[in-house]
Amino acid sequence: MKSIVKIVLVSFFLIFYLGLDAWAAEKPIMPKFSLQFPPKHHLVRAADLFAKTVSDKSNGTIKIRVYPSGQIYQETEIIDAVRSQSVEIGDVLLERWGGFDELFDVLASNRYLSPGYDIAWRIADGKAGKYLSELMKKRGCYPIFWSCSGVSGGITNSKRPLVKPADLKGLLIRVSTAPSGEMIKLLGGSPVLMGGGEAYDAMQRKTVDGSETTLSSVFDRKYYEVQKYLTVYMDFPSIHIWIVNLKWWNDLAKEKGEILRQAALAAQNWDRQELDDIEADYTKKLQKLMTTHVQTKAEADEWRRACQPMADGWLKKTGAEGKKLLDLVNETVKESKETPQK
């Protein structure tokens, strides 16, 4: 009888502990995803789609927690946060990487070289994008998503219309990156570096006169409430990349990593299509809310010539590697002009 009791007890404990092990093995992975944009912005909606797809495909074993509006990290902090695995996933503007290596400023420093979504996607998905991806991996991050916050740029201000470069003289313009600041200087303005989440309050308090940004930010962050004038121009795509901590990514089980990869690709495709649908609409909406000037080709050429020292300086600083990367971009631009997408 005692033997039977022992067998039953041993069996019970084996089942109990094996059950605990199985439960522990299926305990959800809950990575944090930090973004700077407000909840209604298309990149945050893409992140929500990504999180839902991952949860569905993994049967709830991976639950991504999306934090918009810089809730846990500001845009200037995201790269370091992902590299240190303070968060596992982050949305970052390509030029933010320029602080690590000026090669990342290839588009930001060569203004009016690569306007348009067709070129943006070809750069991201082609040789130039692969080159930049390898640079990120060397710094502990892995890119899983390439899209844009917008392809049409805008400079807002509360003083006067901006048509010629001379019109920026004396204006304090908020910028998000060093290359944008250099552009504003060359155009005659005075740049003030700050994150997008701080810009509205700064413009409302008159700490700055305006902001250099994308049309999606002007509209979704409601800059029109505190700014009167907007100049719309198309100089280069404002590329945003979702990066993950490389070690965390490599430590994932193969099947879980594939779920994330496929979900990110689906979110990327959705976001690119969404941009095609809404970008032109931003200009129409803002024209009703602000005194809006859309830059002509002749004006764009004048602004490009004013910014040329920036491109020359970038190439001089980056040397042979810069030329190699710029050649890849120029090759992509040429292909886009010769064989435009239907």
Which residue has tokens 């199985």? 22
CATH number of the domain to which 272 belongs: 3.40.190.170
140 & 200 share domain = no
* Predicted confidence (pLDDT) at residue 19 exceeds the cutoff of 80: no
Asked if residue 43 belongs to a domain, the reply is yes
222 & 93 share domain = no
pTM (2 d.p.):
0.83
Lowest mean pLDDT across 89-98, 119-128, 228-237, 291-300: 228-237
228 & 206 share domain = yes
Amino acid 235: pLDDT: 81
Beta strand pairing call for 153-157 and 65-67: unpaired
39 & 114 share domain = yes
* Predicted confidence (pLDDT) at residue 2 exceeds the cutoff of 70: no
Q: Where are the alpha helices (DSSP H) in 58-195?
A: 78-83, 106-109, 117-125, 127-137, 178-187
Average pLDDT on 248-276 reads 96
43 & 184 share domain = no
Amino acid 6: pLDDT: 54
CA dist 109 and 189 (Å) reads: 17
CA dist 297 and 279 (Å) reads: 19
171 & 229 share domain = yes
Amino acid 240: pLDDT: 95
Which residue has tokens 């569905």? 56
DSSP 3-state assignment of 339?
coil
294-309 pLDDT, tens per residue? 999 999 999 999 999 9
CA dist 102 and 1 (Å) reads: 78
Asked if residue 13 belongs to a domain, the reply is no
Amino acid 15: pLDDT: 46
259 & 308 share domain = no
Asked if residue 10 belongs to a domain, the reply is no
Amino acid 133: pLDDT: 97
Asked if residue 190 belongs to a domain, the reply is yes
CA dist 82 and 66 (Å) reads: 14
Asked if residue 100 belongs to a domain, the reply is yes
Which pair of structure tokens corresponds to residue 228? 């009167």
Lowest mean pLDDT across 22-26, 42-46, 106-110, 275-279: 22-26
57-108 pLDDT, tens per residue? 999 999 999 999 999 998 889 999 999 999 999 999 999 999 999 999 999 9
222 & 175 share domain = yes
Q: Which of 150, 332, 340, 165 is nearest to 236 (CA)?
A: 150
Asked if residue 18 belongs to a domain, the reply is no
Average pLDDT on 136-147 reads 97
The beta strands (E) that lie in the chain are given as: 32-34, 65-67, 89-93, 141-150, 153-157, 172-175, 190-193, 210-214, 229-233, 238-245, 291-294
Asked if residue 290 belongs to a domain, the reply is yes
247 & 271 share domain = yes
179 & 60 share domain = no
- Burial level of 304, CB count in 10 A (0-12/13-18/19+)? middle
Beta strand pairing call for 89-93 and 32-34: parallel
Percent of the chain with pLDDT over 70: 92
Q: Please give the mean pLDDT across all residues of the chain.
A: 90
Question: What band does 197 get if pLDDT is binned at 50, 70 and 90?
Answer: confident
Average pLDDT on 115-136 reads 93
270-285 pLDDT, tens per residue? 999 998 778 778 889 9
180 & 317 share domain = yes
- Burial level of 59, CB count in 10 A (0-12/13-18/19+)? exposed
Residue numbers of the domain that contains 57:
27-149+237-279
Amino acid 23: pLDDT: 40
Total structural domains within the chain: 2
Amino acid identity for residue 300 in this structure = A
Asked if residue 248 belongs to a domain, the reply is yes
134 & 170 share domain = no
Question: What band does 115 get if pLDDT is binned at 50, 70 and 90?
Answer: confident
When comparing pLDDT for 249 and 341, which is higher? Answer: 249
